[in-house]
Amino acid sequence: MKETLRKRDLKLIKIENISYTFKNGTQALKDISFDIPQNRITSIMGESGSGKTTLLRCLGQFIKPQQGTILYNHKNINNIEEKVYRSKLGIVFQNLNLFPHLTVEKNISLALNKVKNTTTDEAKQQTEHLLEKLNISDLIAAYPSQISGGQAQRVAIARALALKPEYLLLDEPTSALDPATTKDFGNWLIQLRDDTSFIIVTHDEVFAKQVADNIIELSHGMIATQ
């Protein structure tokens, strides 16, 4: 059962009146405003062309809205050093971007080495601890080609969580999963929401209702329901 948002919930990300128009004149976002609370799962829903992918790109700082602001901890994200912001908001893209020539362990430990400057031994220990905590220790020596789509999603999220972001943005995480795997994956995410705050961009209404504490539905660049 989803909880009602409590007054003590800290709203770290605040989207204020953002609009984005493509060079061809198509307006993808039209005066969008809403808050994304901490330690909750927020789902951004919408069909193709609704604006959810553009919103994802704005949140990830890949593009800048022509109007409005996105605040992180009361600061405009455009005024936050990119490296600092990326350490606070992780992103798992739809294609996952796992390195096919590396084991699950190496996929995760490499991220710790490169981003956190963790030593090889420390990265290995942290990776083993994380995989055990997430109940996927059995995948540690496997390569991406040897695991299922649902397992690959878990590994990609584990790699992102290793960097300890405060928010983790997931792009269509169930697009390659069957219904049974999607349900199991959703239950797994719910268990992780105390570790980070998830922002899920999806068109899967059943999945969104299963996992999300609050749902933002976009239609033609505007908020349809909230």
The whole-number pLDDT of residue 226 equals 67
29-83 residue pLDDT tens: 999 999 998 889 999 999 888 999 999 999 999 999 999 999 999 999 999 988 8
Q: Does residue 179 belong to any structural domain of this protein?
A: yes
| Residue from 63, 62, 61, 66 nearest 27 by CA | 66
Q: Does residue 175 belong to any structural domain of this protein?
A: yes
The whole-number pLDDT of residue 11 equals 56
Q: Does residue 114 belong to any structural domain of this protein?
A: no
173-199 residue pLDDT tens: 988 888 988 999 999 999 888 888 999
Torsion of CA 7, 13, 14, 15, to 10 degrees: -140
What is the DSSP code (8-state) at residue 52? H
Q: Does residue 138 belong to any structural domain of this protein?
A: no
Q: Does residue 117 belong to any structural domain of this protein?
A: no
142-158 residue pLDDT tens: 999 999 988 999 999 99
99 falls in which pLDDT band (50, 70, 90)? Answer: very high
Q: Which residues span the domain enclosing 220? A: 13-96+161-225
Q: Does residue 145 belong to any structural domain of this protein?
A: no
Q: Does residue 52 belong to any structural domain of this protein?
A: yes
Domain count within the chain = 1
Residue 187 CA to residue 199 CA, distance in Å, equals 15
Is-contact 194 201, C-beta < 8 A? no
Q: Does residue 66 belong to any structural domain of this protein?
A: yes
Residue 186 is part of a domain; what is its CATH number?
A: 3.40.50.300
Residue 205 CA to residue 118 CA, distance in Å, equals 39
Look over the chain and give the mean of its residue pLDDT values, rounded to a whole number. Answer: 89
The whole-number pLDDT of residue 1 equals 34
pTM: 0.86
Is-contact 207 198, C-beta < 8 A? no
Q: From start to end of 37-119, where are the E strands?
A: 41-45, 67-72, 75-76, 89-92
171 falls in which pLDDT band (50, 70, 90)? Answer: very high
13 falls in which pLDDT band (50, 70, 90)? Answer: very high
